[in-house]
C-alpha cells in the first residue's frame, strides 16, 4: 500500500484537476484508474452549480467537519475493529494488493486505520463529496478525490472493491440505486461492493434522532436503510450478495476508568458536532453527558459474539482502561459476477 506518510499538501477541495495532478505523483496506481472524460465533465458541472449544503464543511462555514476531523485525530482507533472487519470481508475472495474506493472517505480515516493495523494488501482511494474533507485529507498526507458516490470518476471494471460506509444514510433515497449501479460499473468481475449502515429503528438511529439532530448545529434528519432495501439494490443491479450484522463498537482508552469514559464522551461530542451541549454545559460536563446518553441508548439483546451494553475494562498488558460502547451495523456484501 502507498504510504500515508506523504508530506501534507495544500490542494483545493473543489479543484479536481489539481487533485488529479497530485494523484499522478502520490498514488499512480489509482491515477491510472481515473476516467479522464468523466472527471472533466464533472469538474465543469461543479463549477457551474450553486453551492450545496455540506454538513461536513468547516465549523466556521456552518458544518461539523472541523470537529469531526478533530475526533479522528484524537482517537484514530475508535472504530478500528469495525473497519478491520469491513476490509477483511471485502478482500476475503481475492489475492494480491486490492484497489478499494472508499466512497465516503472523509479525511481518510479508513486508509489511516488500515496502515496502523497492518493491512498492507489494500490500496485505499479516499473519496468524498465534501471539499473540506478532501482538502483536509490531502493536508494530512492522504491522497483524496472530490467525488459523489452516484457519480464515480473511475473507469469501468477498473477497481477491486467499493466501500460505502460511515454516512451511507446521508445519500438521498432517490440516488441510492444509482450508487449501487455505479459501484457495479467500476468493479472488475469478482470485485466486492460493501454497503454498511445502521438500520432504521436501531440504537444508532435513536442516537441520531434523539441526540445528533437536537444538539448539533447541522441537525440530522436522514433516512437509514432497512435490510430489505439493501437487498433490493444489490439484487436489482446484479450482485451476488449476502446480508449480515457485525459488531462496530466505539472504543477509547484512559489511565483510569473515568478517564476512558470521558475520552469516549469527548470523541462523541466532536464526532457528531454536539456544540449545543458544549455551549450549555461546558466541555467537561458535555463529555460526561454524551457518554451517559450513549450508555443509555446503545443497548442490544444478548447475542453470541456481539456486545449488548457498554463496558469499562482494564487492559492487562498496558495498565490502561478501555471504554466500549456497542454498535451493531448491517452490511450488504455483494460480488460482481
C-alpha to C-alpha distance for 118 and 305, rounded to whole angstroms:
24
Query: Residue 267 pLDDT more than 50?
Result: yes
Same domain as 313, residue 238: no
Same domain as 157, residue 33: yes
Residue with cell string 446521508: 170
- Which cell is 97 given? 494488493
- In terms of residue numbers, what domain contains 266? 250-325
Confirm whether 10 is domain-assigned: no
DSSP state, residue 311: E
| 142-159 tens-digit pLDDT | 999 999 999 999 999 999
Confirm whether 215 is domain-assigned: no
Confirm whether 183 is domain-assigned: yes
Confirm whether 194 is domain-assigned: yes
- Which cell is 18 given? 489539481
DSSP 143-210: -EEE-BTTB--BPTT-EEEEEE-SSGGGS-HHHHHHHHHHHHHHEEEEEEEEEEE--TTSHHHHHIII
C-alpha to C-alpha distance for 4 and 198, rounded to whole angstroms:
29
> The domain that contains 243 carries what CATH number?
3.40.50.150
Confirm whether 187 is domain-assigned: yes
C-alpha to C-alpha distance for 146 and 263, rounded to whole angstroms:
32
Confirm whether 213 is domain-assigned: no
Number of domains in the chain: 2
Same domain as 284, residue 178: no
N- to C-terminal Cα separation, the chain: 26
Same domain as 265, residue 181: no
Instruction: HSE, CB side, 13 Å, CA atoms: give it for residue 306.
Output: 18
Same domain as 180, residue 106: yes
Assign 4 a pLDDT band (cuts: 50, 70, 90): very low
Burial 154-172 (b: 16+ CB within 10 A, else e): bbeebbbbbbbbbbbbebe
Assign 6 a pLDDT band (cuts: 50, 70, 90): low
| 221-260 tens-digit pLDDT | 999 999 999 999 999 999 999 999 999 999 999 999 999 9
| 54-72 tens-digit pLDDT | 889 887 888 898 999 999 9
What does R_g of the chain's alpha carbons equal in angstroms? Answer: 19
Confirm whether 205 is domain-assigned: no
Same domain as 149, residue 29: yes
Same domain as 239, residue 226: yes
Same domain as 140, residue 57: yes
Confirm whether 9 is domain-assigned: no
* The pTM of the whole model exceeds 0.85: yes
**Element (DSSP H or E) covering residue 87:** helix 80-91
Same domain as 272, residue 189: no
Same domain as 269, residue 186: no
Query: Residue 14 pLDDT more than 60?
Result: yes
Give percent of the chain above pLDDT 90: 86
Same domain as 148, residue 256: no
**Element (DSSP H or E) covering residue 253:** strand 250-254
Same domain as 49, residue 134: yes
Amino acid at each position: 500500500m502507498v504510504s500515508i506518510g506523504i508530506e501534507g499538501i495544500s490542494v483545493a477541495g473543489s479543484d479536481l484537476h489539481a487533485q488529479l495532478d497530485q494523484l499522478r505523483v502520490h498514488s499512480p496506481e489509482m491515477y491510472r484508474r481515473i476516467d479522464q472524460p468523466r472527471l472533466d465533465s464533472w469538474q465543469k458541472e461543479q463549477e457551474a452549480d450553486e453551492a450545496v449544503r455540506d454538513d461536513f464543511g468547516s465549523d466556521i462555514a456552518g458544518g461539523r467537519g472541523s470537529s469531526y476531523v478533530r475526533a479522528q485525530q484524537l482517537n484514530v482507533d475508535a472504530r478500528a475493529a469495525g473497519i478491520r472487519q469491513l476490509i477483511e470481508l471485502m478482500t476475503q475472495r481475492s489475492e494480491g494488493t486490492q484497489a478499494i474506493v472508499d466512497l465516503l472517505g472523509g479525511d481518510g480515516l479508513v486508509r489511516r486505520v488500515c496502515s496502523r493495523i497492518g493491512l498492507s494488501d489494500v490500496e485505499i482511494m479516499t473519496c468524498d463529496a465534501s471539499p473540506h474533507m478532501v482538502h483536509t485529507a490531502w493536508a494530512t498526507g492522504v491522497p483524496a478525490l472530490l467525488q459523489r458516490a452516484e457519480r464515480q470518476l473511475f473507469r469501468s471494471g477498473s477497481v477491486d472493491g467499493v466501500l460505502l460506509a460511515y454516512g451511507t444514510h446521508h445519500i438521498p433515497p432517490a440516488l441510492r440505486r444509482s450508487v449501487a449501479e455505479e459501484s457495479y460499473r467500476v468493479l472488475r468481475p469478482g470485485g466486492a461492493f460493501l454497503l454498511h449502515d445502521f438500520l432504521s429503528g436501531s440504537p444508532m438511529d435513536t442516537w441520531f434522532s434523539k441526540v445528533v439532530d437536537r444538539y448539533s448545529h447541522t441537525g440530522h434528519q436522514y433516512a437509514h436503510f432497512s435490510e430489505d432495501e439493501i437487498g433490493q439494490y444489490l439484487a436489482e443491479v446484479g450482485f451476488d450478495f449476502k446480508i449480515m450484522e457485525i459488531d462496530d463498537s466505539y472504543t477509547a482508552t484512559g489511565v483510569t476508568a473515568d478517564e476512558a469514559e470521558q475520552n469516549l464522551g469527548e470523541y462523541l461530542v466532536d464526532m457528531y458536532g454536539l456544540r449545543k451541549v458544549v455551549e450549555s454545559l461546558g466541555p467537561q460536563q458535555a463529555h460526561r453527558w454524551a457518554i451517559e446518553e450513549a450508555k443509555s441508548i446503545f443497548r442490544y439483546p444478548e447475542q453470541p459474539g456481539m456486545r449488548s451494553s457498554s463496558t469499562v475494562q482494564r487492559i492487562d498488558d498496558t495498565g490502561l482502561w478501555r471504554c466500549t460502547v456497542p454498535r451493531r451495523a448491517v452490511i450488504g456484501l455483494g460480488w460482481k459476477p
